[in-house]
Chain A
Amino acid sequence: MLPADRGSATLSTRLIAGSAVLALLVAIAFGILVFAVTTLDDATKRERHTRAVSARTLQLEKLVLDLDTGLRGFVLTGRRDLLTPWTTAHMALPGKLRAFRHLTSTAADERRRAGALVTAINQYVRDYAELVVEIAQENPAVGRQGLVRQEGARQLATVRDHFANFLSTENALSAARTSAAKHRSDEAIAAAVIGLIASALLITGFGFYLTRSIARPVREVAAGAASLAGGDLATRLEPRGVGEVEDLTNAFNRMAERLEAGRRELEHQNERLRESERAKSELVSVVAHELRTPLASVLGFTSVLLHRDVTDEQRREYLNIIEAQARRLGALVNDFLDVQRLEEGKLSIAKELVDIGTVVREQTELFAGQSSKHLLDVSLPQTPLPVRGDSNRLAQVVANLLSNAIKYSPRGGIVRVAGKQNHDVVRVSIQDEGVGIPPELQREIFGKFVRGHATAEGIEGSGLGLAISRSLVEAHGGSIDFESTKGRGSTFWFELPTASTG
């Protein structure tokens, strides 16, 4: 019996969803962390770049100063050897400028500022320095003119201003960018740390949830199972948990219920067995008693005949008693055997056409002579009451009901015996004015060895008559029942299907 798919989320879906949310949260936190590190790395790269640009700029400045130093030395002294720094720097300058332009080519703003610086340097070299060197080579005196020198100083100052500007702007921009990156990085690290702490808290919470929704119910089921194993079959679990765990709890409760019901059933069967054992041992006792009473007559009169002097008339009388009592013994044995066979379903019933009216008449005549206190009033129709069955067995039923009517009305009275046909049913009823059946006994009166207070009241019987009668009537396809008022008497009747005589 598998539980149907429920509309609400099962435990597995909840666990998977919870795990997914937690994993996403951790991933986001790590993403933020990676972003922070990247930002920081970016800032570091930018700083390195700025340092490289500054170094190149300073190299360029030194080169320009070298140019200027060589230029001035040569112009002032006219010594060619002093022109060496100029020559060296002048040769190196184009390569250095290219490298500088390359280094500063990535960012547009930087490229523009670098371009301006390079233009200023080129202007100085082309429009002033190269001209002065050329003039000085041809006419050293003109070169030495102060005007020229003053123009040189002015030109150089412009270039150096450009350098200073470029460097300060580069440093300022770099510092601002680095600081912004650091700030972003700090924020990202803070967010990531908060995210990780939140994840840790949520994972802990999830753990508690797992404990509550799985571990605890499972522990309870384990404890319940131990309790069941210990024999307490009334153990039930609180319906707790979600989905599969709830299913487990429910399955456990169903199992416990089954076990308990099984044990109750077993106890019930045990009780019935004990009851049947008790009935059997009571049967043994009843059989012993019922057999001993006629046996007392048989043995007693035999002893009298053997050991005492008796007249012929007495002998005949006693032998008659012995015979009758021996027959009674035989009848009792037959009763017990009937019960045995009925219980085992081994009684064979003939299917002859029987006039139940005749059977009733015969049995009533037999009983009429037995009691002086009872008047047997028979009421039968003129026509036969045809049924199909075993006349001996039907006679046994009538005899049993008649015998009960007499036995259970010890003060005597009228016993009304009636037979009639109602369409397809033949009904025989026997009514007495006896002690009746107490209500608490009415339900089980057709059971075996049910004698009510008969024993205490000294009414003999095996307690088998009604059980045999009911089985016999039912074996004929009929039914038997009664109504009774305690102290007022009982009416027993049985109905059999009418036999078609045609």
Chain B
Amino acid sequence: MTAQPEPTAADKTVLICEDDPNLRTLVRLALGDGYRFFEAPDGPSGLALAERTDPDLIVLDLMLPGRSGLDVLRELRSGDDFAETRVIVISAWSDSDAAAIEAGADRFLAKPFDPDELRDAALALIEDDGAAG
């Protein structure tokens, strides 16, 4: 048995749950190549896609059509299936950080966010997982 290869982004699946298509593109660009991306424009389809793809990381907006991001987050954290899933919340409601963390977010970034900061945050969370696993 060969040594387990260093975990790379290429192994990781990212779900982007954001209603603004431009921002979905921006999140993809910010995280860079090497992830497998899924995109959902609203709360219900985000939840459905999460069930199907079991992502390693979810980048979640709070202001979502159908169901709010906080709602989606609480639903995800209510069961065991997504206990390990890392969640970064991005929101223009800059004072929603406490609520987001309380609902189970790992990081909170206020819009407008710095693409490099998002990339570094995602890497840090995933490497954390790699070290632990």
Contacts and interface: CB of A to CB of B under 8 A. Distances in A.
A368 interface: no
Interface stretch (B5-13, B77-85, B112-120): B112-120
A288 B92 contact: yes
A457 to B, nearest CB: 6
Contacts of A456: 68
Given A296-B113, A297-B23, A460 B63 contact: yes
Contact of A325 (B22, B29, B30): B22
A115 interface: no
Contact of B26 (A297, A324, A458): A297
A459 B63 CA distance: 8
Contacts of A325: 22
Contacts of B130: none
Interface in A298-317: 298-301, 303-304, 307-308
A300 B42 contact: no
Contacts, number: 79
A292 B29 contact: no
Contacts of A455: 63
Interface string A450-475: 00000111111000000000000000
A458 B68 contact: yes
Nearest to A410: B65
A455 B68 CA distance: 8
A456 B43 CA distance: 11
A300 B113 contact: yes
A321 interface: yes
A interface bracket (residues with beta carbon within 8 Å of B): 20 to 34
Contact of B66 (A292, A308, A458): A458
28 contacts: A288-B92, A289-B63, A289-B92, A290-B92, A292-B92, A293-B20, A293-B23, A296-B90, A296-B111, A296-B112, A296-B113, A297-B20, A297-B22, A299-B114, A300-B29, A300-B115, A303-B114, A304-B26, A307-B115, A321-B22, A321-B25, A325-B22, A455-B63, A456-B68, A457-B66, A457-B67, A457-B68, A458-B68
Nearest to A320: B22
A307 B111 CA distance: 19
Contact of B65 (A288, A296, A321, A459): A459
Given A297-B26, A301-B26, A458 B64 contact: yes
Contacts of B43: 458
Nearest to A321: B22
Contacts of A321: 22, 25
Nearest to A304: B29
Interface string B61-79: 0011111110000000000
Interface in B75-117: 90, 92-94, 110-116
Interface of B: 19-20, 22-23, 25-26, 29-30, 42-43, 63-69, 90, 92-94, 110-116
Contacts of B115: 300, 303-304, 307
A295 B63 contact: no
A308 B22 contact: no
* Majority secondary structure, A binding face: helix
Interface of A: 288-290, 292-293, 295-301, 303-304, 307-308, 321, 324-325, 410, 455-460
Contacts of B65: 410, 457-459
A458 B30 CA distance: 24
Given A304-B26, A456-B68, A457-B67, 14 more contacts: A289-B63, A293-B111, A296-B90, A296-B111, A300-B23, A300-B30, A300-B113, A304-B29, A304-B115, A321-B22, A410-B66, A455-B63, A457-B66, A457-B68
A19 to B, nearest CB: 80
Contact of A458 (B63, B113, B114): B63
A293 to B, nearest CB: 5
A166 to B, nearest CB: 135
B92 A308 contact: no
B93 to A, nearest CB: 6
Nearest to B114: A303
Nearest to B43: A458
A293 B113 CA distance: 10
Contacts of B94: 288, 292
A371 to B, nearest CB: 11
A300 B26 contact: yes
A455 B64 CA distance: 9
B29 A458 contact: no
A322 to B, nearest CB: 9
A386 to B, nearest CB: 38
A205 B19 CA distance: 90
A321 B20 CA distance: 11
